[in-house]
Amino acid sequence: MTTSAAPSALPRRKLPIGIQNFAKMREGDYYYVDKTGLALRLIDEGSYYFLSRPRRFGKSLFLDTLKELFEGNRELFTGLIAENAWDWSKKHPVLRISFGGGMLGSVVALGQSINEQLATLEEKFTLTAEYPDARSRFKRLIQRVAERSGQRVVVLVDEYDKPILDCITDTALALQVREMLKDLYSVIKDSDAYVRFALLTGVSKFSKVSLFSGLNNLTDLTLDPNYSSICGYTDADIDTVFAPELDGLDRQEIKSWYNGYNWLGDPVYNPFDILLLFRNRTFQPYWFETGTPTFLIKLLLERRQFTPDLGRIVAPETLLSTFEVDNIPVEALLFQSGYLTIADVWQIPGQMELTLKYPNREVQASLNRCLLQTLSGSPSVPGQQISRLYRLLLERDFDGLKTLFHAFYASIPHDWYRKNKLAQYEGYYASIFYSYFAALGLDIRLEDSTNFGCVDMAVLFDGQVFLFEFKVLELTPKGKALQQIKDKAYADKYRARGEPIHLIGVEFSRAKRNVVGFEVETLAICW
């Protein structure tokens, strides 16, 4: 049943889709989620900060909010928390640098961007360049601006890591770009006497040794519970600020599709998803479609990642927090780019261990669709088969499911098996099977524990329970998959739901590269 929010008496405003300019947002009739309280706390607690968040989470808008705050543009903050809580008599000059625009995947392109941005800042403060090299030029710019204005400078760097990510597949080049940025950012600490506040934001977090050795006084906000919602919208924001947009939309669907990003505090929604949903009034993977994770998919396959494990990875906080250009943990890349988020935390002396999960249905379904296109060796086949799977599940057509599952593997070109070592890995078959269900955004429980063991996969859908056990024929006797579900009484855990339970044993053959066994037994509902 679809449950819609009650109509709101508040007036509807314009949706700030793609707007990163604080003044434009405040001067126009746009919705705005007030982040100025967090900005004030940040400024009050320290001076040097770093923040990592996935793309399109509002990092640029938050930096622009800080810029307007420090420059003392009070009229933009009318009605916001900062209006009566900030000393508007004191203004600070702001130096803002951004690497967010265009591709900077070369040393030459990065050098040009740095020089152009420094020239723009020099022109803004009516100064001339005194040195040809970027490091000396930046350092003197900070010093002269502070001396001329009589106030310490604010330095804001947006997308600090994008030049590295633009060439991440070329390790040698990425290392050169990293050294250029390392030299530039070291100026901020060297200029401590002239800097009031500094914040660097980006998607990834490179280690202090590799990129921030010259700027090791940064406070990392990424996993600070007090700033978990510094970017993104909370449930309270959706229900208050955006209340006029909720009429006609299923509130629980909004939550399951787009909420769930967690940095040890309140979970948040990606703003881009929410704004596009309110404009288009349909549930689509808006955020995911703004960037195809080609490099990530390649890395997952190279490292033989068992895809069912993606939604339950356990890793220490130190592994997730940083990576090197030439040593990128899959867990860190998935977490920092927003494809996985924090599900649970376990504290042990001196270490924090994090369990990761998909943040929501959008990411689970979209990432698995993308994986299937590569795992199956065809970008076109999976889409049709995913739709067919959904219809067959609704119809409880198990003969049709058996035929479809066989088609999953039969559609993979023989030459793809020959060229890819991944296809020789037994987990490959279960990975493809799982990803088809995950691509539908269904409620999937992997290795769900019972009193007698763990069933490989449970799918809860449309008032039905589907329990799957997978076996490789070359390793176990035929018929063992279904028999194990019955012998271990895996169904007992689900009987209290009062729903039909379908026991499904699936057997793969590495020699035939396909499903060779598919047995189903349905249990009657016992009241």
The pLDDT tens digits for 106-140 are: 899 999 999 999 999 999 999 998 888 999 999 99
Please, which residues bridge with residue 381 across strands? none
Rounded distance between C-alpha atoms, residue 32 and residue 25, angstroms? 7
Which 3 state secondary structure label does DSSP give 241? coil
Query: In the sheet where 314-316 sits, what is the strand order?
Result: 314-316, 351-357, 341-348
CB neighbourhood size of 451 (10 A): 9
pLDDT at 423 over 60: no
User: What pLDDT shows up at residue 1?
Assistant: 42
Number of domains in the chain: 3
Same domain, 39 and 74: yes
Which 3 state secondary structure label does DSSP give 233? strand
HSE on the CB side for 465, CA within 13 Å?
22
Q: Is position 508 within any domain?
A: yes
HSE on the CB side for 523, CA within 13 Å?
25
For residues 379-401, give the mean pLDDT: 89
Same domain, 306 and 179: no
Helix (H) or strand (E) segment spanning residue 120: helix 107-124
Same domain, 350 and 383: no
User: What pLDDT shows up at residue 295?
Assistant: 84
* For helices 134-149 and 107-124, angle between their N-to-C axes, nearest 10 degrees: 20
Q: Is position 328 within any domain?
A: yes
Helix (H) or strand (E) segment spanning residue 314: strand 314-316
Instruction: Give the β-pairing of 453-461 and 464-472.
Output: antiparallel
Same domain, 503 and 443: yes
Rounded distance between C-alpha atoms, residue 219 and residue 199, angstroms? 9
What secondary structure, in 3-state letters, does 253-290 show?
HHHHHHCCECCCCCCEECHHHHHHHHHHCCCCCCCHHH
Instruction: Give the β-pairing of 501-509 and 464-472.
Output: parallel
Rounded distance between C-alpha atoms, residue 54 and residue 202, angstroms? 8
User: What pLDDT shows up at residue 298?
Assistant: 84
Same domain, 334 and 418: no
- What's the chain's average pLDDT? 89
Same domain, 96 and 203: yes
Boundary residue ending a domain (301, 322, 357) = 357
Rounded distance between C-alpha atoms, residue 332 and residue 324, angstroms? 10
Task: Using a pLDDT cut of 90, give the percent of the chain over it.
Answer: 64
Same domain, 182 and 111: yes
Q: Is position 265 within any domain?
A: no
pLDDT at 218 over 90: no
430 vs 122 pLDDT, higher one: 122
User: What pLDDT shows up at residue 50?
Assistant: 94
Helix (H) or strand (E) segment spanning residue 296: helix 294-302
Q: Is position 234 within any domain?
A: no
pLDDT at 414 over 60: no
Grade residue 312 by pLDDT with cuts at 50, 70 and 90.
confident
pLDDT at 256 over 80: yes
Which domain covers residue 106, as residue numbers? Answer: 34-227
User: What pLDDT shows up at residue 405?
Assistant: 87
User: What pLDDT shows up at residue 450?
Assistant: 55
Q: Is position 242 within any domain?
A: no
Same domain, 438 and 497: yes
Q: Is position 94 within any domain?
A: yes
Q: Is position 68 within any domain?
A: yes
User: What pLDDT shows up at residue 339?
Assistant: 94
User: What pLDDT shows up at residue 221?
Assistant: 94
User: DSSP state, 525?
Assistant: P
- Helices then strands (H, E): number in the chain? 19, 13
pLDDT at 373 over 80: yes
Rounded distance between C-alpha atoms, residue 25 and residue 27, angstroms? 6
Boundary residue ending a domain (304, 323, 357) = 357
| CATH number of the domain bearing residue 340 | 3.30.56
Same domain, 308 and 441: no
pLDDT at 526 over 60: no
Q: Is position 258 within any domain?
A: no
Determine which of 228-237, 327-336, 361-370, 449-458 has the lowest per-residue pLDDT on average.
449-458
DSSP 396-421: T-HHHHHHHHHHHHHTS-HHHHHH-G
Same domain, 156 and 197: yes
Same domain, 401 and 341: no
187-214 pLDDT, tens digit each: 998 999 999 999 999 998 876 556 666 6
Rounded distance between C-alpha atoms, residue 515 and residue 404, angstroms? 10
pLDDT at 420 over 60: no
> Which amino acid is located at 233 in the chain?
Y
